[in-house]
Amino acid sequence: MSKQQEPITALYCRLSQEDAREGESNSIANQKAILAKYAKDNGFTRTEFFVDDGFSGTVFDRPGFLAMMDGVKSGTIKTIIVKDHSRLGRNRLVIGTLLEEDFERYGVRYIAIMDNIDSEQGLSDLIPMADLFNEWHAKNTSQKVRSVKHAQGNAGIPLSGVPPFGYLKDPQDKRKWLLDETAAKVVRRVFALCMDGKGPSQIARLLESEKVQTPVEYLRSIGVKTPKKPPRVPFQWEPSTVAAMLERQEYLGCVVNFRTRRKSFKIKKQLRLDPSEWKVFENHHEPIIAKSAWERVQEIRQNKRRSPKSGKTSLFSGLLECADCHSKLYFSKKTEDANNDFFVCSRYRGGRGECTAHYIRDIVLYNLVPEHLRGTLRYVKKYEKYFVQAVNQKSTQEQAKSIAEKKRRCERNKKRIAELDVLFQRIYEDFVAARLSDERFGKLSEAYEAEQSALKAETVQLETELAEEKQSAANTERFLELVRSYTEIDDLTPTILNEFIQKIVIHAPDRSSGTRKQKVEIYYNCVGVLDVSQEDAWIEAIAECRRNQKPKEQKTA
C-alpha cells in the first residue's frame, strides 16, 4: 500500500469552556503537542487533527467529532488517538456504543494516551466505570455552573451571552449594555412598521428589499462573535427574527432572565418557561422603545389579522370586536366595489354559527372613525384640564362597583383559603388517629387542595386587575401626551389608528324603530370609551366638573 493510500490517524482534541478554566494542562495547544509526540514516537505518519474548542463532552453534534466520524464511516480513518478518555466525551451510553459497537464495526483502533487504553490490546472491564465517573464530573460541573448562573440571574445580571440587537456589551463592564445607535434605528423602524399595520413577514420583505443587514450580519461586520451563522442569501430577514424582536422586553430598558432552561445536562435543547417564571429587572440600560409603544405593539400582535382569500385587508382588520360574543369580526370582500366590503362576526358562519352577523360595511368605519377621532382631539385640546377630571370621574363611577366587588372577592377568597388550611389540618389529625380511612382522606385532601389552588389563582388575578385599575391617572396623562403630539389628523393611517384606538365594539343592528340603527363603541388606548359625538353632552360634563371645583376654590380662598 502506498503512502497516499494509507489510512488516516485522527488526532482528536476537545476543550469545553469549563475545562478551559482549569488551566493550561487541557488546552488545545497542549493536547496537540502530546498527540503529535505520541504519533511520531509510535510510527503513526499520516495524521490529521480534528478539533472541537468550546464544546461540552455531553453533546456529540460537535463539528470536529462529526467530521472525524464521517471519515470513520467512509473507511479513511482507522485509528483515533486522544489525550485522555474524557476528551472523546462524557456520556457513558454514547461512549459505550462507540467503543463496543461503532469502532468494532468499522475496524477502528482507539487509543487514550493518559488512561492507557488501546483497543488493539483489548478493552478493560473498568472502562465503563471510568465513563460513569466522567459523566458524573460533567453533571457536577453543570450543577455548579447552574448554581452560579441562578445567583447571577436573581441579582439582575444578564444571563444572555450576546445582548439583544440594538445593544453592545460595555468594554469596561461586560455585565452592562450600551446603546448601539446604528442597530437601534433598525429596531425603532421595525416597531414603527408594526404600528403602521405591517406583520413580521411584510416587515422582513421590506427590510430585505432595502438591503438592511440582519442582526447576525451586522454584528459580524463590527467584529462581534455570534452563535448563529449569517443567512446564505445576504439581507435575508426571517419573519421569526422580526417577531422575536417585537416581543423583547429588553427594549424597555429591562433585563429578562430565566426565559428558558435545559431539561438535562445531556440535552442541549432549551425549554421555554412560562412568563410567570421569568425574572424582570427594570432600568438596567437605556431603553430604545417607549413603554406605551411597546405595549401597543403587544396588543397588535395579539390581535393578528386574518387575511381573506382575496388578499385584501382593511385598515380596521383585527380591531373590531363583537359586542355579544366578544369574538373578532372578519373582513370580507365579495365584489370588486370597495364600497361593498364588510365585516361580520367570526362566529356567525353564514347563519350556522353561535352568533348573529353584526354586519357593518368597511366604508362606514372609514367615515365614522376619523370623524370621531378628530372630534376627540379637538375637545380634549380645548378642555384639557376638565377632560382629565371628567375622565377620572367617569372612570371612578364605572369602576367603583367593580373595585368594591373585587375587593370583597379577594377578602372572601383569603378567608376561605385560611379555613381550608384548618380543615386540612383536622383531617390529617383524624387520619393519623385512624379516625379517617386512606380513601376518604385522599378524596378530601385532593378536593381541598384543588379548591385552594383555584382560589389562590383567582385571588392573584383579582389583585392584578385591582393594581391595573389604579393606573387610570397615569393612563390619562399618557393619552394627553399622545393627543398633544398631533396638531391635526388629515388622513387616518395604520400608525395613528393603532396609537389611539384599542378596539372598536360593534353591536347588533336595531330595527325596532323601522330604520336600521347600529351602535359602535370606540375604545381609546388608556382611557376607554369616549363619547364626544354630541357637543351639548360634552359641555354639560365640563360644566359639572366646574361646579364641583368652585366650592373647593372658595373654601381654599
Ranking 154-163, 398-407, 493-502, 534-543 by mean pLDDT, the lowest is 534-543
Query: Same domain, yes or no, for 27 and 127?
Result: yes
Question: How confident is the model at residue 14, as a pLDDT?
Answer: 93
Query: Same domain, yes or no, for 171 and 198?
Result: yes
Total structural domains within the chain: 2
Last residue of a domain, one of 301, 331, 359: 301
Residue in 80, 83, 79, 68 with CA at minimum distance from that of residue 33: 83
Ranking 122-136, 348-362, 524-538 by mean pLDDT, the lowest is 524-538
pLDDT of 83 over the 70 cut: yes
Q: For residue 192, is it within any domain?
A: yes
Query: Same domain, yes or no, for 163 and 116?
Result: no
Query: Same domain, yes or no, for 37 and 75?
Result: yes
Hey, how many other C-beta atoms are within 10 angstroms of the C-beta on 174? 11
Beta strands in 460-544 (DSSP E): 501-506, 520-524, 528-529
State the Cα–Cα distance between residues 242 and 534, nearest whole angstrom: 43
518-539: b or e for each residue (b if 16 or more CB lie within 10 Å)? eebebebbbbbebebeeeeebe
Query: Same domain, yes or no, for 290 and 252?
Result: yes
More confident residue, 1 or 443: 443
Q: For residue 250, is it within any domain?
A: yes
Share of the chain above pLDDT 70, in %: 85
Instruction: Indicate the burial class of 248 (C-beta count within 10 angstroms; 0-12, 13-18, 19 or more).
Output: middle
Q: For residue 553, is it within any domain?
A: no
Supply the CATH number for residue 281's domain. Answer: 3.90.1750.20
pLDDT of 393 over the 80 cut: no
pLDDT of 513 over the 90 cut: no
Question: How confident is the model at residue 555, as a pLDDT?
Answer: 46
pLDDT of 77 over the 90 cut: yes
Q: For residue 27, is it within any domain?
A: yes
Residue in 393, 392, 504, 405 with CA at minimum distance from that of residue 458: 405
Query: Same domain, yes or no, for 181 and 91?
Result: no
State the Cα–Cα distance between residues 424 and 436, nearest whole angstrom: 12
State the Cα–Cα distance between residues 265 and 507, nearest whole angstrom: 55
Give me the chain's average pLDDT, please: 83
More confident residue, 80 or 356: 80
Supply the CATH number for residue 8's domain. Answer: 3.40.50.1390
State the Cα–Cα distance between residues 224 and 180, nearest whole angstrom: 13
Query: Same domain, yes or no, for 25 and 97?
Result: yes
Query: Same domain, yes or no, for 45 and 99?
Result: yes
Beta strands in 69-122 (DSSP E): 77-82, 109-112, 117-118
Domain span at residue 143 reads: 3-147
Last residue of a domain, one of 96, 127, 147: 147
Q: For residue 261, is it within any domain?
A: yes
Per-residue confidence at 534, pLDDT binned at 50, 70, 90? very low
Q: For residue 343, is it within any domain?
A: no
Q: For residue 227, is it within any domain?
A: yes
Query: Same domain, yes or no, for 181 and 297?
Result: yes
Per-residue confidence at 557, pLDDT binned at 50, 70, 90? very low
CA angle 119, 124, 125 (to 5 degrees): 135
Ranking 41-50, 137-146, 392-401 by mean pLDDT, the lowest is 392-401
Residues 367-377 have a mean pLDDT of: 87
Share of the chain above pLDDT 90, in %: 29
CA angle 125, 130, 131 (to 5 degrees): 100
More confident residue, 198 or 533: 198
Question: How confident is the model at residue 339, as a pLDDT?
Answer: 83
DSSP assignments along 259-276, one per residue: SEEES-TT--PEEEPPGG
Residues 213-241 have a mean pLDDT of: 90
Query: Same domain, yes or no, for 103 and 191?
Result: no
State the Cα–Cα distance between residues 455 and 438, nearest whole angstrom: 26
Query: Same domain, yes or no, for 261 and 196?
Result: yes
Query: Cell digits for 332?
Result: 370580507
Per-residue confidence at 556, pLDDT binned at 50, 70, 90? very low
Query: Cell digits for 461?
Result: 388575578
Q: For residue 357, is it within any domain?
A: no
Last residue of a domain, one of 147, 181, 198: 147
pLDDT of 223 over the 70 cut: yes
**Element of type H or E holding 12:** strand 8-15
Residues 433-439 have a mean pLDDT of: 81
Query: Same domain, yes or no, for 22 and 135?
Result: yes
